[in-house]
Structures are given as C-alpha cells and as structure tokens.
Amino acid sequence: MLVAGRPGEYGIAALDLRSGSSVAVNGDTAFPMASTVKVAIAATYLTEVDQGHRSLDDIVAGHPAAKLMELMIVRSDNVAADRLLASLGGPAALQQWLRSREITGIRVDRTIAQLLHDHGHLADSRDVATPNAMVALLYKLNNGDVLTGQSRSLLFELMSRCSTGTRRIRALLPAGTRVEDKTGTLDGVTNDVGVVTMPDGHRVALAIFARGGRDRQSAIAQLARAIYDRFADSTRIALDAFMRLR
C-alpha cells in the first residue's frame, strides 16, 4: 500500500493520459487545494484569451497579464494570483468555469488572501478538491478542447518551470524527466499536482495531497517515484507482450 504506515492523511490519483490506466488512494476524498488552485485560475484566464475576450497583453492591476500568470505558476505568487482572479470576477467566476467544463469535485470559495487569513485548514470544507477531480482537470487541459494548442503549450511550459516543488514530485524521478507541476502549501498541508512525461513519451497526470503528519515533502517524492515506476513498468510489460505476439 502506497501510504501504509505513513503519519497523516494522503490523497493520490494518477491517470495515464494515453491509455486511461489509473490508480488512486483516497481519490474521492476532499483535501485543501492551497495553491494548486492556481492551475484553474490560469486555465480560466487562458480560456478567455482563446475566446477573444482578453489578451495576455492586457494590463491587470498595473502589470501585463502574461507576467502575472508567470509569477503565479512559476513562483506561486499569491498577489499575482489574486489580481488575475479578481479580473475574472473572483472565486464565483472560477467555480462557474469549472462547472461549465463539467469538472466536479473542486470547490472554490475564497481568494488566496482570504484563504491565508483564515485558520483551521485541515478540517476546512472550503477550497478543496479530490485527487480524482484534480487529475480530471489536468486530463481536460492536456487532452481536451478546453484550451487551444497555444494556450495549452503556454500553461504547461510555465508549469515545467515551477520553482517551488523541487523536493516533491520532481525530487526522486530519474534525471531529465520532464515534470509540469504546481505545488500548494498551507499550515499542515503539502500538495503537488502535475503531469510527468514517461521515457517513451506518454504522459501521466498525478495529484498528491497530504495533510497532517510529518515529512510530507519527502513522502510526496517517494509516492511520485512509486507512481512513476508503476506506469513505466506497465509500459514495459505491454511492449514486451506486443513483441512476443509478433
């Protein structure tokens, strides 16, 4: 069992974006999203760009939207996130975007500033997502028609430069593995969600949420490596079976 014996509570989901093979532990349990919600903020803004309602050159609170998005995703800048969120119409607009894309299991209630001001995150039912819902969002961003190819490429390129998660999903993966992720951190909460490219080029979306306990970052790193090995091995087994049939 991936989480057996670990202190705290973990929610894990992973989905092969090519074959549909999946694995989950507590996949339908809601966990605080923390800054992983910024993936949805970026996607909502980019949808508006794709529809011609906005531009990445728009000035939002004195800054180009493109710069705010970069700061929000790469550095997890909370002020940049709230500026973009406000320009979209706040949490309600983000919730409406999720609903219109038939993404259930993600709840958005507050701005980042409001979230950080409040306490009791471990037991909060607001601003939460299930691991399965977060992976569904990543699937739609990668495989679906939610974003144009240009906007999709921009978002995942920014996620590939995420500078806040070097000790989480990325930490124990083989050198050179491409990871496009977004972290989230609150008191007692440590998260990382994103897409990992496997050795043969196919991609796996994963979400790992952790609350309570100790050493959550190292646990996320170990869990991510176990997921990587599981999907890499599945690919090898399938290839071996194919070669035997030739």
Q: What is the pLDDT of residue 5?
A: 77
Question: Cβ contacts of residue 203 below 8 Å, gap of 6+?
Answer: 16, 17, 18, 142, 195, 196, 197
Chain centroid offset of residue 198 CA: 17
32-47, pLDDT tens digit by residue?
A: 999 999 999 999 999 9
Tokens of 216: 């959550």
At residue 246, the pLDDT reads 35
User: Hey, what are 146's tokens?
Assistant: 């939610």
pLDDT beyond 80 at 240: no
Let me know: does 23 contact 3? Beta carbons within 8 Å: no
Mean local confidence (pLDDT), 213-221: 95
Backbone angles phi, psi at 182, to 5 degrees: -145, 125
User: Can you read off the two tokens belonging to residue 220?
Assistant: 């996320």
218 pLDDT more than 70: yes
* 171-182: average pLDDT: 98
- Which residue has better confidence, 76 or 241? 76
Predicted local distance difference test score (pLDDT) of residue 242 = 26
Interhelix angle for 91-100 vs 78-88, to 10°? Answer: 70
For residue 236, what pLDDT band results from cuts at 50, 70 and 90? Answer: low
Residues in contact with 127: Cβ distance below 8 Å, sequence separation at least 6, in sequence order: 32, 33, 37, 107, 108, 109, 110, 115
Question: Which residue's entry shows tokens 């202190």?
Answer: 7
**pLDDT, tens digit (0-9, with 9 covering 90-100), for 8-23:** 999 999 999 999 999 9
Indicate the pLDDT class of residue 234, thresholds 50, 70 and 90. low
pLDDT band at residue 239 using 50, 70 and 90 as cut-offs: very low
Provide the H-helix boundaries in 112-215.
Answer: 112-117, 131-143, 149-160
Residue of 11, 4, 6, 27 lying closest to 189 (CA atoms): 11
Residues 6+ apart with CB under 8 A from 139: 15, 17, 205
Q: What is the pLDDT of residue 245?
A: 33
pLDDT of residue 144: 80
pTM exceeds 0.85? yes
The alpha-helical segments, DSSP class H, found in the chain are 38-50, 65-74, 78-88, 91-100, 112-117, 131-143, 149-160, 216-245
State how far the Cα of 155 lies from the Cα of 75, in Å rounded to an integer. 14
